Amino acid sequence: MKQKTVVLGVTGSIAAYKACDIISRLKKQGVEVHVILTESGSRFITPLALETIAATPVVTDMFNRETPWEVEHIALAKKADAFLVAPASANFLGKAAHGIADDMLTTTILATHAPILVAPAMNSAMYLNPVVQENIQLLQKRGYRFISPGEGRLACGDTGVGRLAEVEDIVSAVLDALNPRQDLAGVRLLVSAGPTQEALDPVRYITNRSSGKMGYAIAQAAARRGAEVTLVSGPVSLPAPQRVKLVPVVSSDDMFRAVDGAFAGCDALIMAAAPADFTPQNLSGQKIKKQGNGLNLALKNTRDILLAMGQKKEGRILMGFAAESENLAQNAQSKLRRKNLDFIAANDILAQDAGFGVDTNRVTLYDDRGGARDSGSMTKDALADWLLDALWARIQRNRGRAGAE
Ligand code: CTP
């Protein structure tokens, strides 16, 4: 197999020293690494250190005269099978998001067709600043893959999110990008994500807390692994995943119809959405006026989408989620049976590293054969692949059984 090449951008962050470890691990996997070091990156680590490990010249200057026969940024952009920026500073994210190309790294990245992976590292207040978050969203929309930073004690003494992701996670994301698994090729996967909104009147609605991140991560990971993915999504503020058919919906009734309509054409359904369980009995055509005694709302149950699909599942594989605040195992297993599921991924919504809005999650995956596995705390992206691995194993088992019959 042809040797793969990674271009690694190193920007100004105290985590720049970790680039040495990243290079060394990639090289152990037989990957050639070329490093572009930014001006501020070079304040934290020397070109010599990186060059010694990479065994290729480190590029720092746009106007280097040593290789005048090649337009260097174009040559590197073409050479890359994957492009990694680790650590990525807030300054780099801002420039990349807005097409500013004022140094070797930002110029080369504009010219590459290779998959681009970015591992940010910075102080947590900077990372959580809306301008940085918006830049990240813009880049995600354009297909950049983010390896989310971890939480912990930061170099500045603060504690919070912003620490460069673990080197192993970065390296494995790069290896995945270099050799994309296509194990789910030919699998038609239906995923639901996000909350629903149940209107009371033209301006008000009731909803569930759900960012949609878990379902979007599953849809994205499955598409990358070759599945044909339909994503039925309630209202969320996330960029549409690439190569996924997105079906936006608002109410749980809309979601029911969209999932039901796509169900016949799918091999597996992962219901990661949090559809509202209750909806107003009556929808007021006019804005409801304030009254002296407040407002009594009459609510009715919505239809349980997963339950209905479980009743007509035939050969399909069904995975549900259970968000629980108590009796996790018992509640999850009874949902698994009641809804006729193959799997249920249960999380404790009161745990700090799981649930709403955060980038990490931790689930226990129960299956219909009595199995239970703990995922450990991981990023929602990594968890998406972990859940898909379980789904894939079940698909293979079912195929094996069908073949034997
Ligand atoms: N679900 C669904 N339709 C609904 C409500 C939930 O398909 N109207 C799905 C969710 O997407 C999830 C699973 O059912 O995959 C479990 O959701 P959860 O809210 O934990 O369970 P409920 O069945 O609603 O039970 P309860 O509210 O009593 O915990």
Q: Answer yes or no: is 260 within a domain.
A: yes
The rounded mean pLDDT for the chain is 92
Confidence of residue 69 (pLDDT cuts 50, 70, 90): very low
Average pLDDT of the residues in 205-225: 94
CA of 285 to the centre of ligand 1 (A): 29
CA distance 255 to 193: 10
Q: How many CB atoms lie within 10 A of CB 176?
A: 18
- pLDDT at 216 (0 to 100): 96
Among 208, 210, 260, 271, which residue has the most ligand 1 atoms within 8 Å of its CB, making it the best to mutate?
271
- Is residue 73 located within the same domain as residue 205? no
19 occurs within a structural domain: yes
Q: Are 246 and 102 contained in the same domain?
A: no
Query: What are the backbone angles phi and psi of residue 92, rounded to the nearest 5°?
Result: -60, -45
pLDDT at 248 over 90: yes
Q: Is the pLDDT of residue 217 over 80?
A: yes
280 and 218 assigned to the same domain: yes
Domain assignment present for 92: yes
Pocket of ligand 1 (CB under 6 A): 252, 271, 273, 275, 277, 302, 304-306, 320-323, 335
Residue closest via CA to ligand 1's atom 14 equals 306
Q: Output the CA torsion sign for 212, 213, 219, 222.
A: negative
DSSP characters for 202-217?
SS-EEE-----HHHHH
**Is 25 within the bounds of a domain?**
yes
CATH at 352:
3.40.50.10300
Query: Per-residue DSSP letters for 117-141?
Result: EEEE---HHHHHSHHHHHHHHHHHH
Same domain? For 229 and 368 the reply is yes
End-of-domain residue from the set 157, 178, 199: 178
Mean pLDDT of 355-369: 82
251 and 111 within one domain: no
Whether 173 and 194 share a structural domain: no
Residue 213's alpha-carbon distances to 210, 293, 299, 380, in angstroms, are 8, 39, 28, 7
Residue-level pLDDT at 306:
98
Q: pLDDT at residue 61 above 80?
A: no
Taking only the tens place, the pLDDT of each residue in 136-173 is 999 988 889 999 898 888 887 888 889 999 999 899 89
Range of the domain at 242: 188-400
In a domain, 221, yes or no: yes
Q: Is residue 353 predicted with pLDDT exceeding 70?
A: no
Over range 244-264, report the average pLDDT. Answer: 98
The answer to whether residue 72 scores a pLDDT higher than 80 is no
Residue 393 alpha carbon to ligand 1 centre in Å: 25
Give the distance (Å) from ligand 1 centre to CA of residue 274: 7
Specify the pLDDT at position 352.
67
Report how many domains make up the chain.
2
Same domain? For 31 and 118 the reply is yes
156 is an active site residue? yes
Q: Is residue 183 part of a domain?
A: no
Q: Is residue 405 situated within a structural domain?
A: no
Which band of pLDDT confidence, cut at 50, 70 and 90, is reported for residue 62?
low
Q: Are residues 226 and 303 in the same domain?
A: yes
pLDDT interval class at 71 (50, 70, 90): low
Q: How many CB atoms lie within 10 A of CB 282?
A: 10
The residue among 178, 198, 228 that closes a domain is 178
Q: Whose CA is nearest to atom 9 of ligand 1?
A: 306
| Mutation pick for ligand 1 pocket among 321, 328, 330, 341 (CB with most ligand atoms within 8 Å) | 321
User: What's the pLDDT at 160?
Assistant: 85
pLDDT at 67 over 60: no
Substitution candidate for ligand 1 out of 306, 307, 319, 364 with most atoms within 8 A of CB: 306
pLDDT tens-digit readout, 255-290:
999 999 999 999 999 999 999 999 999 999 999 998
The Å distance, Cα 323 to ligand 1 centre, comes to: 8
The answer to whether residues 257 and 169 belong to one domain is no
CATH code (residue 43): 3.40.50.1950
Same domain? 214 vs 356: yes
| Average pLDDT for 51-75 | 75
Question: Rounded to an integer, what distance in angstroms lies between the CA atom of residue 99 and that of residue 105?
Answer: 12
Is residue 150 a contact partner of residue 15, using CB atoms and an 8 Å limit? Answer: no
59-68, 71-80, 99-108: the lowest-pLDDT one: 59-68
Alpha-carbon radius of gyration of the chain: 24
Percent of the chain surpassing pLDDT 70: 95
pLDDT on residue 35? 97
H or E stretch covering 355: none
Helix (H) or strand (E) holding 161: strand 159-163
pLDDT of residue 90: 98
* Structure confidence at residue 157 (pLDDT): 82
Residues 243, 173 share a domain: no
- Position with higher pLDDT, 129 vs 66: 129
Ligand 1 centre to CA of 322 (Å) is 7
Using CA atoms, how far apart are residues 53 and 46, in angstroms rounded to an integer?
12
Cβ-based burial of 354 (10 A; exposed 0-12, middle 13-18, buried ≥19): buried
- Look at residues 159, 178, 197 and tell me which one is the last residue of a structural domain: 178
Say if 341 falls within a structural domain.
yes
Residues 257 and 374 in one domain: yes
Going by pLDDT thresholds of 50, 70 and 90, the confidence category of residue 291 is confident
Please report the pLDDT score of residue 354 as a whole number: 62
Closest ligand 1 atom to 208 CA: 19
Which of 100, 156, 206, 299 is an active site residue?
Answer: 156
pLDDT category of residue 118 using cuts at 50, 70 and 90: very high
Nearest atom of ligand 1 to the alpha carbon of 301 = 8
Residue nearest to atom 16 of ligand 1 (CA): 322
Q: What is the mean pLDDT of residues 217-227?
A: 95
